[in-house]
């Protein structure tokens, strides 16, 4: 049985990412909406990436509803979630990698590998 991406509230994600006790963690954050067809296509792909890296305790996969978080299409913030899905890989409260819309699993795995180096 595969893993299921954890959906969390945006304020919880912000607290995790900003917490200095978590500085060795890598956060793979997927911003979605309930009505987004591309989000539904990407969800099993991201969960497959999560399954591949489940042995790496420092990598945390999270899903955030961009509308509930009031981030979707809000251009005056650091996150700039203008499209869904949007993917952010973060470490030490910095965005290391960013992408929008569709990516094959291999590309997402490449992003994770680069952060692990």
Residue 66 lies in a domain: yes
CATH number at residue 77: 3.40.30.10
101 in a structural domain: yes
Find residue 82's DSSP bridge partners: none
Instruction: Please write down the HEC assignment for all residues of 1-14.
Output: CCCCCEECCHHHHH
What is the per-residue burial (b if ≥16 Cβ within 10 Å, else e) of 28-60?
A: bbbbbeeebeebeebbebbbebbeebeeeeebb
Domain that holds residue 35: 6-116
Residue 52 domain-assigned (yes or no): yes
Q: Is 50 part of any domain? A: yes
Read off the pTM: 0.89
Q: Is residue 1 part of a domain?
A: no
The total number of structural domains that make up the chain: 1
One digit per residue, the tens of pLDDT, for the chain of length 117 reads 456 777 888 888 888 888 878 888 999 999 999 999 999 999 999 999 999 999 999 999 999 998 888 877 777 777 778 889 999 999 988 999 999 999 999 999 999 999 998
């Amino acid at each position: 049985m595969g893993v299921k991406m954890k959906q969390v509230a945006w304020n919880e994600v912000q607290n995790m990412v900003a917490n200095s006790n978590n500085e060795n963690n890598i956060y793979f954050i997927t911003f979605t909406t309930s009505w987004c067809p591309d989000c539904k296509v990407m969800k099993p792909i991201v969960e497959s990436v999560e399954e591949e890296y489940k042995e790496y305790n420092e990598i945390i996969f999270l899903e955030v509803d961009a509308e509930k978080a009031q981030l979707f299409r809000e251009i005056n913030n650091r996150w700039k979630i203008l499209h869904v899905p949007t993917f952010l890989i973060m470490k030490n409260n910095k965005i290391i990698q960013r992408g929008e819309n569709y990516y094959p699993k291999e590309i997402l795995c490449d992003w994770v590998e680069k952060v692990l180096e």
